[in-house]
Amino acid sequence: MDIVTPSTESEEELRKQDVKSLGELLIDLATKTPNAHTDLTKYLEEIKTTYSSEFCDIIQYILQEQNLDKLVEKLAVRIMNEMIQLHE
């Protein structure tokens, strides 16, 4: 939401835009290419050769579902395992 110019879009739509922007930012950063998100097919393949399939799946999930709550649920076990390993 913009304080100066209020949006006519719902909070849910704004949240989806933010999540989509996060996915696009992850692609741009992972490829070190500004605007890589404009050619998803090409750059997702490039990411698959450099990063884990799990990371690629996360990016695709963010772009398709645009729901961080579901993503966190999907990754909850992994997150908990990582936290346990940190404290061992």
Whole-number pLDDT of residue 67: 78
Handedness of CA 59, 44, 78, 25 (dihedral sign): negative
Task: Say yes or no to pLDDT of 4 above 80.
Answer: no
pLDDT for 84 equals: 92
**Nearest by Cα to 17 from 29, 8, 9:** 9
- The pLDDT, as a whole number, for residue 51 is 92
Sequence-distant (6+) residues with CB within 8 A of 18 are none
pLDDT tens digits, one per residue of 20-73: 898 899 999 999 999 888 888 888 888 989 998 888 888 888 888 777 788 888
